[in-house]
Amino acid sequence: MRKTLFSIATIAVAALSSPALAACPGDGCYVPPVPDALELQGYFEFPTTDPQNYYVGGGISTFTLPLPNAMPSVTYTVSGNPGVHFVSTTGYTVLGDADGGVAFAVTLPNQGSPSLGTVAQKTLANNANVSMSMFYTIKLSAPDMAAADQIALTLGQSTKAGTISGNWGTTLSGVGSATVIAVTTNPQSFGGSFRKDCTAIPGTIDASGCGTGGYSLDFGFVRGDQYSNGSALDFYSRAYLNASSYTYFDGSSGSVSAYIDPTIRLNSSFRGISGLTLTSGGAATALAFVPEPASWALMIGGFGFAGGYARTRRSLKLA
């Protein structure tokens, strides 16, 4: 289980990094397509009191609808209970019984301020685990070629297109581990990564990632015409978020939770270019200018973490 946990960051970077877009000699070179607007992946497992189905596992995924502005449906499947179940978009989806259980929450960019949250809870002789990951594409679109060339010129002067920052929180009682991760990148460069671990398992104690806090990562753009099906009017970047909660077999009860959300803030150098649209995970917003460059930002996330997260945690009861 720990091997899986510690490989999450490596998987994230590999998934976010498409094959190199730089020109390659000769014919037959692979040029990747524009990345998907949004992907949601996850899994969970928890014990039950049913002697015929003592452990239940499942997966979390997103069905992307074909309409450009359609809201994706977040679904999960459960072993022993065939079929597709829809995730609540107003709070945590709770699964389990008196032996233990899991809870997970997701808000997609189309649905408001994006965020991920997980909770795992167990009794004495069991364990429960849940992990959720969100990959989403950030696209900056120009209204015409003149504006697009201005964007390219600005990016040439400063490779930092902006920052993705946000809030995170972890809790741990008993034996277990909570992890939150954020990664930014594009196919030509690795932006940055953030990770916090709150861990208490035999042989490993790390309380440095326990509690709440914030993070900030730079990100850059690559022009869309470097993709096989992209447009020179568009510029792309990618982001990854993960929230994982794990408990362990140790003869004690326990509960673990993890939460993370993102906010996108563009470099103020872009404010001199009119008619821009920023799309995050398929949700498009026309950029509005205000007098102070420092306050020109598209706030996608940061919805009052301290109060909202605390209220949500108090309302979760898995047993």
Tell me, letter by letter, the H, E, C secondary structure of 157-171.
HCCCCEEEEEEEEEE
Half-sphere exposure of 132 (CA within 13 A, CB side): 31
Q: Which of 120, 111, 57 is nearest to 89 (CA)?
A: 111
Give yes or no for a contact between 114 and 242, defined as CB atoms under 8 angstroms apart. Answer: no
% of the chain residues with pLDDT over 70: 71
Quote the DSSP letter at residue 36: P
pLDDT, mean over the chain = 76
Tens of pLDDT, residue by residue over 179-226, are 999 999 865 565 789 999 999 887 788 889 999 999 999 998 999 998
Enumerate the domain spans of the chain.
Answer: 2-19+36-315
How far is residue 109's CA from residue 94's CA, in Å, rounded to a whole number? 22
Chain centroid offset of residue 24 CA? 32
- Which pTM was predicted? 0.80
Give yes or no for a contact between 23 and 122, defined as CB atoms under 8 angstroms apart. Answer: no
How far is residue 273's CA from residue 136's CA, in Å, rounded to a whole number? 24
Return the structure tokens found at 8: 């999450």
Please work out, in degrees rounded to the nearest 5, the angle formed at the alpha carbon of residue 217 by the alpha carbons of 216 and 221: 140
